[in-house]
Structure 1
Amino acid sequence: MMKLNKSLLTVSIASTALLAVASQNVLAHTRLTVTSTIESSSAHGTSDTAVNVPHGCGDNPVIGNVFFLPDTNTAPLVQTSTDNFQTFETPEGANALNYIVNPPFIRLIKSRDVFEMQDLINDPLGNPLGFWAAGGELPPSNWVAQLPFKITAVAIQPDSCANKVVLVPAIANVCKLTTMAEIDSSDSDNPNVDFWTAPDVGSSFDAPSWSYPATYTIERDLANNPLPESCGEGLAVRIIPSAEQVNRDMPVKIDGQQVWPLP
């Protein structure tokens, strides 16, 4: 795995809090329709949301989409902050399950409004982390696609200092079937694919360094799960897919054969 350039990652993703206030700018980016929820220990609780795709890649329509959440089993990047990600650190040896009780999974909502084909992306244990969709198209402009799904309820570790946990999914809007050699993830005007992944984590599918990915925030229920007294005002925690996971889960396979990127 490539070594993380944490300074670049800091600048790129820390801009989320600042840029999110510019609503007109945000509308141009691939985001989730529902971006936050209160924590819940309910084993069967879920929240409805959707991947909101606002445009194609330049003049090319979107012909497929890939979405997945961080896999807590592949040592995701865990970052903490005391000032809402204006500054943050990456605690050595930090584990996602130090801050959340249970990993987040998805339940896919059956829909053919945009794409005819959908399938789940599972972790090595068979748990659904995301999905891919294809077999249709979103015109390059003046149309918006929404790909609905559910995220399972997540509880925050009672003995942790996390007052919120931000999950950073990896998303790609595929506009043309190409080989890996034709994918330049650093090119913001790439007509073949539009990446919304964390920049510079070392995967083959990192977003351009100026970009910042979508987020899904789990707020601590302070009434029923108060912070330990030693935590003060607590920490904001961010969990990002590792390069290992992104390289594993981003390629689309149908019946065991990789169809994107083309072999």
Structure 2
Amino acid sequence: MLTTKQFNLSTQCVLAIAVLAGTTQIASAHTRLETATVNENTRITNNVIIGHGCGEKNVIGTSVVFPDGVDSTITVDGAANAGPLTAFVQNWGNLMQQNYSRAIFSFQDEKTDSNSNVVGFWAGGGNSLPHHLNGYIPFRAGAVVIEPTSCAKSVKFYISIADICEITDTAGFNADTVNLWTHNALGTAYDRTSTTDDGPASLTVIRTSALPASCGTGVAVEVKPSAAQINRDMPIKLDGSQIWPK
């Protein structure tokens, strides 16, 4: 027979599981990378996971931008750093490659800079992603080489993503037309409306090689895209014509 004490303990366990499940669901609702942490010198196949639509509206496309490392904002242990990304990473510039897939959307392409380096990609058209389901957008993440002479113990890249539910101009951006998983204070039309900078997805590269003796325990480096890059690379273009935003 179930005692009162056993019943109370069982109820507490059920409530704890429910709270944990609810927390996990909330966390996973953001659009994020399937693999958010990778060791240096390791190439992986990854996915952007779209968490949900815009309320009851399906997702009809997505736009993804990686910081290009050219005019990106760099911080070291939270403090601004004016040095180049090459002080911490040897080979950033053309490591992310979109994998072709029509599992959800019919059209897709990479975004490149003036040197033909891939700085992002997009997918859309054809089918839409039901608002209550997850969607996987595949890409290959190349092996990142952390500069051996640096004190970087990790390098975290912030990835800006827009999940589009209706094609509008930037004035039409709202909770019914687009989910912006972007920074909240860059000063662009693509900024996420939020009191905290919790929008972007991220990819953290962990150092596995030895730190120089003078580095102690090392430093954590973070890289964010500039406003200029977001304005340039977030729009979607097809055959040379911009199709989003209008």
Say yes or no: TM over 0.5: yes
**Who is 1:214 aligned against?**
201
**Who is 2:235 aligned against?**
251
CA RMSD, Structure 1 to Structure 2 (Å): 1.3
C-alpha distance in 2 between matches for 1:231 and 1:63: 47
The secondary structure found in structure 1 opposite 2:52 is: coil
1:198 maps to 2:183: yes
Alpha-carbon displacement from aligned partner over 1:31-74 (angstroms, at most 9, x marks no partner): 0001111111xxxx62111010111011211000011211012x
**Who is 1:139 aligned against?**
130
With normalisation by structure 2, the TM-score equals: 0.86
The secondary structure found in structure 2 opposite 1:27 is: helix
The secondary structure found in structure 2 opposite 1:132 is: strand
With normalisation by structure 1, the TM-score equals: 0.80
Equivalent pairs: percent with the same residue?
Answer: 36
**Who is 1:37 aligned against?**
38
1:71 maps to 2:58: no
The secondary structure found in structure 2 opposite 1:134 is: strand
Matching residue within 48, 54, 57 for 1:57: 54
Q: How far off is 1:197 after superposition?
A: 1.1
**Number of residue-to-residue matches in the alignment:** 220
Give the residue type in structure 2 aligned to 1:178.
Answer: T
| Structure 1 segments (4+ residues) deviating >6 Å | none
Alpha-carbon displacement from aligned partner over 1:63-122 (angstroms, at most 9, x marks no partner): 00011211012x1010111xxxxxx1112x222111101115212211111000001111
Matching residue within 218, 222, 225 for 1:238: 222
Alignment gaps of 5+ in structure 2: 1-22
Give the residue type in structure 1 aligned to 2:52.
Answer: H
| TM-aligned CA distance change 1:212 to 1:179, over 3 Å | closer
Larger Rg, first or second structure (1 or 2): 2
Alignment gaps of 5+ in structure 1: 1-21, 82-87, 185-189
Alpha-carbon displacement from aligned partner over 1:173-218 (angstroms, at most 9, x marks no partner): 000010121125xxxxx11100111221222211122333211011
Give the residue type in structure 2 aligned to 1:241.
Answer: P
Alpha-carbon displacement from aligned partner over 1:104-144 (angstroms, at most 9, x marks no partner): 52122111110000011112200112211011211111x11
Contact 2:180 2:199 (C-alpha < 8 Å) held by counterparts: no
Give the residue type in structure 1 aligned to 2:240.
Answer: G
Alpha-carbon displacement from aligned partner over 1:224-260 (angstroms, at most 9, x marks no partner): x211111111111111111110000011111111111
Give the residue type in structure 1 aligned to 2:73.
Answer: L
